[in-house]
Amino acid sequence: MMGPGIGLTLALSGLPVTLVSRTAAGAEQGLSKVRAQAEMLRVNELAALAETAGALERLRAATDFDGAIGAADLVVESGPENLAWKRDLFARLDQITPAGAVLASNTSGLSITAIAASCARPERILTTHYWNPPHLVPLVEIVRGEKTCDETVEAVRNLLAACGKTPVVVKKDRPGQLGNRLQMALLREAVHIIAEGIADAADIDAVIQNGLGIRMPAYGTLEHMDIAGLDLAVSVLDYVARDLNSEPHAHQYLRSQVERRNLGAKTGKGFYDWSGKSADEVKARRDAFLVQVLRGRRRDRVPHGAG
């Protein structure tokens, strides 16, 4: 459920927010998750008690779709990754929301142009792809559809920046947007390395966690290349690229895992044996690390002498 974290982010910035669910149980579950996330931010000094209390007062849940959304200035959809479902939903949103309302999808890869195809106001429609968990990860990808107007993009970028997020604009509506294109390229090569017997999953993850990944919050890949020198980049790429996987589809090794129902944590086996490994503990470790990074960033922003 991405909706609660997205809603909390907006509510913390001072906006009234309504979480819309199809069932009363789903609505209550969403509110419960928001309360837990707000408490986690407070306990870890990422938001003050007054901020989280105010956000919770501004946030409610509803099941009356038309009644809850009919007067909204901004709608952020975070439903199933199903193009037909999203197209039908946005066609309905296009009809019931005010003319100036911005309609955004949290899709992680579907075309926002295709989602908006049946809408009369595609210039007001775009993607805002929050990264999980959305109440902690700063990044939000704003993806322009073919007919999204500049004013909509700028308004949403300014709003997200005011919420403390790091918005980036993806200028072309392409599969995988920006972050997932980079992530899938890394995944494709990681699977290829396992299939070729070059290294195992644990060592690949160790390289990412303790090598290139640990320094990326400080400077990015392209910044690193500029510092190292683009002439060196050309030399290394000319040598290495010929041995990298470039197949335009999922690797057969990955397909064979799926065929054997080795789907990862949910079936007990994937790249790792999960019989003695907890997905919840891994996610808790992830969140604890994110909290420490965010707390460090907050400290860096506090002026000297400030309380």
Q: Can you tell me the distance from the alpha carbon of 125 to that of 114, in angstroms, rounded to the nearest whole number?
A: 11
In the block, which residue shows the tokens 């060592």? 203
Sign of CA dihedral 260, 265, 271, 272: negative
pTM: 0.92
Asked if residue 291 lies in contact with residue 46, where contact means CB atoms within 8 angstroms, the answer is yes
Q: Residue 166: what pLDDT?
A: 96
Q: Residue 301: what pLDDT?
A: 75
3-state secondary structure the chain: CCHHHHHHHHHHCCCCEEEECCCHHHHHHHHHHHHHHHHHHHHCCCCCHHHHHHHHHHEEEECCHHHHHCCCCEEEECCCCCHHHHHHHHHHHHHHCCCCCEEEECCCCCCHHHHCCCCCCHHHEEEEEECCCCCCCCEEEEEECCCCCHHHHHHHHHHHHHCCCEEEEECCCCCCCCHHHHHHHHHHHHHHHHHCCCCCHHHHHHHHHHHHHHHCCCCCHHHHHHHHCHHHHHHHHHHHHHHCCCCCCCCHHHHHHHHCCCCECCCCECCCEHHHCCHHHHHHHHHHHHHHHHHHHHHHHCCCCCC
pLDDT digits (tens, 9 = 90+) for 268-300: 999 999 999 999 999 999 999 999 999 998 888
pLDDT band with cut points at 50, 70 and 90 for residue 106: very high
- Nearest Cα residue to 135 out of 234, 235, 242, 17: 17
- Nearest Cα residue to 250 out of 174, 196, 189: 189
Structural domains for the chain: 3-170 (3.40.50.720), 179-249 (1.10.1040.10)
**From residue 248, how far is each of 38, 167, 176, 242 by CA, in Å?**
42, 29, 14, 15
Q: What is the mean pLDDT of residues 235-244?
A: 96
Q: What is the mean pLDDT of residues 181-188?
A: 96
Q: Which residues pair with 61 in a beta bridge?
A: 19
pLDDT digits (tens, 9 = 90+) for 31-55: 999 999 999 999 999 999 999 999 9
